[in-house]
Amino acid sequence: MSKMTLYGIWLSGPTYKAGLAMSLMGQPFAYKHVDLRAGAHKQPEYLAINRFGQVPALVDGDLKLCQSGSILLYLAEKFGKMGGKTPEEKARVREWLFWEFDRLAPNVYRPRAMKRGFMKLDDNLYALYTTNANDALKVLDGALATSKFLVGSEPTIADVAVYGDVAYATEAAIDLSPYPNVKGWMERLEKLPGFKPYEDVLPKQDAA
């Protein structure tokens, strides 16, 4: 079976989610660097892989997939791992995936992009995003008060997706100290076999 190929850029949170899921599932993958600064994601060759002109994309044989949440669901289904065990758990996983890209991801990624100098935001907008991020972190902290992982008793792609947001909070200058349950959960995930921080999961250039 040939390796799947992940297309992305190492600074991208959604690309990290896909790479981290494969790493936790013990699935090696080839990697193609997409140079966003040079506009490679808007060129016809890349648009033929991801019609939305964004990273990540995952190519598995003839199949071209995009949207990190959808990629995570595909990986869980394909490898029978981290997708939840029962119909209810699978539904809860999807709930977290839809919630995190609505309430958490943009409110962490945009302030982070501002702090790292990738995006210009005025102070009011920065304050709005980080207020929203803190609201979402409160919800997350509450959910993790009584359970080790977000769904069921084992880690799932819901944890991967949400971790792939919270992992950038510090770079966004969002303080996680008011959220002890979130911090404890992050530490649990960071001890899992196959866990790697984003700098180690995603190569800086193409990799076979």
Window 118-157: contact mask with ligand GSH (x via CB under 6 A): ----------------------------------------
Q: Which stretch binds ligand GSH (CB under 6 A): 61-69, 84-92, 126-134, 166-174?
A: 61-69
Reference 58, options 72, 44, 45; nearest CA is 72
Q: Which stretch binds ligand GSH (CB under 6 A): 9-17, 137-145, 169-177, 186-194?
A: 9-17
Nearer to ligand GSH, 14 or 83 (CB): 14
Structure tokens at 135: 């609201």
Residues contacting ligand GSH: total by CB under 6 A = 13
Backbone phi and psi for residue 51, each to the nearest 5 degrees, phi listed first: -60, -20
Asked if residue 54 binds ligand GSH (CB under 6 A), the reply is yes
Among 4, 6, 14, 198, binds ligand GSH (CB under 6 A): 14
Among 5, 23, 67, 107, binds ligand GSH (CB under 6 A): 67
Angle between helices 157-166 and 123-143 (to 10 degrees): 150
Reference 24, options 173, 161, 204; nearest CA is 161
For the bound state, the minimum distance from the C-beta of residue 175 to ligand GSH, rounded and expressed in Å, comes to: 23
Asked if residue 107 binds ligand GSH (CB under 6 A), the reply is no
Reference 55, options 71, 74, 76, 73; nearest CA is 71
Nearer to ligand GSH, 23 or 141 (CB): 23
Per residue in 56-70, is it b (16+ CB within 10 Å) or e — as a string?
bbbbbeeeebbbbbe
24: Cβ–Cβ under 8 A, 6 or more apart, which residues? 82, 155, 160, 192, 193, 194, 195
Q: What is the largest CA-CA distance in the chain?
A: 51
The three-point CA angle 120-123-129 to 5° equals: 85
Beta strands in 108-200 (DSSP E): none
For the bound state, the minimum distance from the C-beta of residue 67 to ligand GSH, rounded and expressed in Å, comes to: 5
Among 5, 68, 107, 130, binds ligand GSH (CB under 6 A): 68
Q: Which stretch binds ligand GSH (CB under 6 A): 24-32, 53-61, 150-158, 171-179?
A: 53-61
Q: Which stretch binds ligand GSH (CB under 6 A): 7-15, 84-92, 132-140, 193-201?
A: 7-15
For the bound state, the minimum distance from the C-beta of residue 161 to ligand GSH, rounded and expressed in Å, comes to: 9
